[in-house]
Amino acid sequence: MLKKEEVLAQSEAAFSQWGPTWDSHAKINGELYREKGVSHKDVLYKGIGKQCICVSNGPSLEAQIEVLKENYNPELQFIACVDKSLGTLVDAGLTPDLLIVCDASVDYETWMKPWEDATKDIMLGCCITANPEWSKNWKGPICFFVNKDNIDSQIRYSQISGCGEMIPAGSNVGNSVIIFTTQIMAFDEWLLIGYDYCWGEDNYYAYNDPAGKRHWMKHIQMIDQWGRIVNTSQNLLFSARWLGDYYKMIVQEKGCNIYNCSGFGILNMPRLKFERKLKSFEKRKITDKEKQMIIMKKADIATIRPDQGDEALQAELKKPVVDVTVRTISTEDAAWLQAL
Q: Which of 48, 35, 47 is nearest to 144 (CA)?
A: 35
Higher per-residue confidence, 227 vs 318: 227
Q: What is the pLDDT of residues 198-225, one digit of tens each?
A: 999 889 999 999 888 889 899 999 999 9
Q: Looking at the domain assignment, is residue 291 inside a domain? A: no
Averaged confidence pLDDT in the chain: 86
Sign of the CA dihedral with 241 first, then 245, 248, and 251 last:
negative
pLDDT band for 132, please (50, 70, 90 cuts): very high
Q: What is the pLDDT of residues 89-98, one digit of tens each?
A: 999 999 999 9
Q: Looking at the domain assignment, is residue 277 inside a domain? A: yes
Q: Kindly state the percentage of the chain with pLDDT values over 70.
A: 84
What pTM was estimated for this model as a whole?
0.86
Report the alpha-carbon distance of residue 236 to residue 242 in Å, rounded: 10
pLDDT at 80: 98
- Flag whether pLDDT at 309 surpasses 50: yes
- Please write down the HEC assignment for all residues of 232-288: ECHHHHHHHHHHHHHHHHHHCCCCCEEEECCCCCCCCCCECCHHHHHHHCCCCCCCH
Q: Looking at the domain assignment, is residue 325 inside a domain? A: no
Q: Which domain holds residue 23?
A: 4-285
CA 194 to chain centre: 14
Q: Looking at the domain assignment, is residue 338 inside a domain? A: no
Q: Looking at the domain assignment, is residue 329 inside a domain? A: no
Q: Which residues contact 32 (CB under 8 A, 6 or more apart)?
A: 132, 135, 136, 142, 144
In total, how many domains does the chain have?
1
DSSP codes joined into one string, 187-226:
-SEEEEES--SSBSSS-SBTTB-GGGHHHHT--EEEE-TT
- Flag whether pLDDT at 327 surpasses 60: no
Q: Looking at the domain assignment, is residue 312 inside a domain? A: no
Give the lowest-confidence range in 28-42, 241-255, 325-339: 325-339
Report the alpha-carbon distance of residue 149 to residue 13 in Å, rounded: 13
Q: Looking at the domain assignment, is residue 300 inside a domain? A: no
pLDDT at 19: 72
Q: Looking at the domain assignment, is residue 307 inside a domain? A: no
Higher per-residue confidence, 13 vs 112: 112
Give the lowest-confidence range in 14-18, 26-30, 243-247, 335-339: 335-339
